[in-house]
Amino acid sequence: MMMLTAVDVILRYFFDRPITGSYEITSFMMVIVMGAGLGMCQMDRGHITVDIVTQFLPRRLVAGFNVFHDLASLVFLALMTWQTFVHFTTLYKANTLTVSLPIPHWPFAFILGVGLVFYFVVYVKDWFEDTGMVIGGAR
Domain ranges of the chain: 38-136
What's the pLDDT score for residue 137? Answer: 65
DSSP string, 111-138: HHHHHHHHHHHHHHHHHHHHHHHHHH--
Report the percent of the chain where pLDDT is more than 90.
Answer: 48
Contact 51, 111 (CB under 8 A): no
Contact 107, 31 (CB under 8 A): no
| Residue 108 pLDDT grade (very low, low, confident, very high; cuts 50, 70, 90) | very high
pTM of the model: 0.83
Choose among 57, 51, 66: nearest CA to 125. Answer: 66
Contact 31, 108 (CB under 8 A): yes
